[in-house]
Amino acid sequence: MKNFLMGTMAAALMVSCASDGALIVPKDTLEECVYMGEKTQFAVWAPDAEAAQLKLYNTAEEETPFKTVDMMLGKDGLWKTTVKEDVKGTFYTFQVKKNGQWLEETAGIAAKAVGVNGWRGAVIDWNETDPEGWAEDKSPQIAKSDIIVYEMHHRDFSIHQTSGVTNKGKYLALTEEGTKNPDGLATGIDHLKEIGVTYIQLLPSTDFITVDETHLENNQYNWGYDPFNYNAVEGSYSTDPYNPVTRIKEFKQMIQALHKAGFRVILDVVYNHTTDASKTGFERTMPGYFYRMREDGTFFDGSGCGNETASEQAMFQKYMLESLEWWMKEYHIDGFRFDLMAIHDIETMNLISERLHAIDPEVVSYGEGWAAQAPAYPAEQIALKSNTYMLDKVGAFSDNIRDAVRGPLGCENAGFMDGVEGNEDNVKFGIAGGVEHPQVAVERWTANPLQHISYVSCHDDHCLRDRLEEATDATEAERLAMVKLAQTAVYTSQGIPFIFAGEELYRHKQGVKNSYNQPDSINAIDWTYKTQYKDLVDYYAGLAAIRHAHPGFCLGDAELVREKLEFIDVEEPCVVAFRVNNLEGIDSAKSLTVLLNGSKKPVAVNIPEGQYVVLAQNGQADAEGLSAYSGSTISASATSATILAEM
């Protein structure tokens, strides 16, 4: 054994570094566990380790392995071994030795199937994870102008007793059709069809650590922004977290059902930080490599979660690329939302975009163009919102339109929708999709309007109802009018409209801003609200139908936006009016005109004389038209919006 260790240590010294001193990064895709029936290949990347072992267990929880195998270091920096027997259904860990000490066991950094709570990898036959018809599963074709994103948490969406769903809080909830609330109105996937959204953004669904999958009877809750195994499916949303095949198959069934129903699926991914670093495969194989570290060995913390990952490191860049490709190829995911994207460097994000578009030219990618605090990397080289124009087909959330329309986070007013003056320029910026425009005073940060994610609320901070109830003393009727106005700005923006699940039902979270670990009593969507606020639901559906019917609201090109989008001069404060002109060949309408009136009094604005169809007015919206109008003005009552189509 002594001679073996001396030999492997010498090998480590030879292969751990390339000629330039950098650690060896394997050229091939990292595959830590490859099951082939009568044998299974295992590998773990730890090029500077002194030794490595594979440990096999009969269950995910037993203390003693039934087999321990020494691994050999190859020239690609991978420690490898092959177990020449059928070990399907077993669980594995790796353990590496550094500086004379064995580090703690880990499932590795790229485990694709895991046992309960994710501490051990699982040996499975991937053919058994495919539901019937999976090979034929296809993502629906959705035009750029039809993209409307709906952000959803699995548990929020279906856990309430009024959801009518059988598999409450589970992946399978989104496979159930015909579900209804107590008054017979559609819930679940049928509701999503009704309101006209086209992309479903799932909050983190990769394996995270804060929900104990062995005690789900305790009704634990978490958003999931504490990633553990990036390539594995979270078990708490499956019907059997102990069975690695079950969680994977049910996740695929969900994707399959959403595709069949006409939706594309975006996965919220959290590569910017991990859970407690000491628990991760990163630190248990290559301590300090995958994170940005201070000279004293402590972690930089641009994420505000205890650490920040280092996308500029060759192996972590490779890891992100291969992980995202895995989710697209194996799970048919159609897009990604990057949490705290400004932690990542621009080069990596552009390489990601290139690789993902090679798989699917229609893939949609965007992220948060900020961090919790300044990352330990040059500002001009990271994916900050201000650098979005340097990103290739990757967008960013627009706090410009968000803060203008609803008031800045932490502010005591509700912004444009509540008649607060001074927000008009940022509303215009949002309408233009963040591109440079001669009538917009705010400096652009997008190169293409589709890089601009237009929204007024998401899972973070107050939902829209709680925001209004905290920041205004308006009546409920007045607040509902504000919601309609705010979302009209979102849906008529040249950017991509984005709404938070349940906003269309006027959901609340009892005033809790950061509800990431709060109980269902705070987070669950009460589906009786669909009955109570049916008028609001219908308005959301009407706005979606209008956008789908009129691609002039999504020109998809900065030059076209500058050419065809014209803001109308308005003397009244807290009013924004605009026209999208000369739409022949683009839209069935010759022009589209919108008046957003955040003021507390009616307004009217002069427009060219013409024959118009009123698509939205006085809190009602209908793509078929509410009425015909012939004239030269557009008007809107207090706190409302009007949309006209010139035919």
Q: Residue 122 sits in a domain of what CATH number?
A: 2.60.40.10
Element (H, E) at 120: none
Instruction: Note whether 256 and 177 are same-domain residues.
Output: yes
Token pair of 93 as six digits: 């860990």
Which residues are designated catalytic?
339, 368
Q: Looking at the predicted structure, is the pLDDT value of residue 19 above 50?
A: no
| Percent of the chain surpassing pLDDT 70 | 97
Q: Are 200 and 283 part of one and the same domain?
A: no
What tens digit of pLDDT does each residue of 576-596 get? 999 999 999 999 999 999 999
Place of tokens 């994170």: 291
* Closest-CA residue to 381 (of 305, 315, 292): 292
Summarize the confidence of residues 194-215 as an average pLDDT: 98
What pLDDT, on the 0 to 100 scale, is given for residue 481? Answer: 98
Rounded to two decimals, the pTM is: 0.96
Q: In the chain, what is the greatest distance between 2 CA atoms, to the nearest angstrom?
A: 93
Mean pLDDT within 453-466: 97
What average pLDDT does range 528-539 have in this prediction?
A: 98
How many structural domains is the chain composed of? Answer: 4
334 and 348 assigned to the same domain:
yes
pLDDT of residue 17: 52
| Apex 163 CA angle, 162 and 165, nearest 5 | 125
Give the helix ranges, DSSP H, for 441-475. 464-471
pLDDT digit string (tens) for 321-352? Answer: 999 999 999 999 999 999 999 999 999 999 99
Q: Rounded CA gap, 578 and 564, in Å?
A: 10
Asked whether residue 261 is domain-assigned, the answer is yes
In tens, the pLDDT along 95-123 reads 999 999 999 999 999 999 999 999 999 99
Query: How many helical (H) and strand (E) elements, i.e. helices and strands, does the chain have?
Result: 15, 26
In a domain, 146, yes or no: no
Q: Write out the residue range of the structural domain in which residue 622 sits.
A: 565-646
Q: Give pLDDT, residue 412.
A: 82
3-state SS, residue 129:
helix
559 is a domain residue? no
Same domain, 170 and 294: no
| CATH number of the domain to which 578 belongs | 2.60.40.1180
Show which of 553, 577, 611 is a domain's final residue: 553
Domain CATH for 243 = 3.20.20.80
Q: Helices 399-406 and 424-431, interaxial angle, to 10°? A: 140
Are 101 and 180 found together in one domain?
no
Residues 354-363, mean pLDDT to the nearest whole number: 98
Write the pLDDT tens digit of every residue in 461-503.
999 999 999 999 999 999 999 999 999 999 999 999 999 999 9
In a domain, 560, yes or no: no
Average pLDDT along the chain: 96
Confirm whether 226 is domain-assigned. yes
Lowest mean pLDDT among 12-21, 184-193, 566-575, 612-621: 12-21
Strand runs labelled E in 556-639 = 565-568, 575-580, 591-597, 603-617, 620-621, 627-636
Over range 604-632, report the average pLDDT. Answer: 98
List beta partners, residue 358.
Answer: none
> By three-state DSSP, how is residue 627 classified?
strand
Pick from 407, 464, 437, 432: nearest CA to 598: 407
Mean per-residue pLDDT, 524-549:
98
> How far is the CA of 586 from the CAs of 221, 362, 551, in angstroms?
46, 20, 7
403 and 329 both lie in a single domain: no
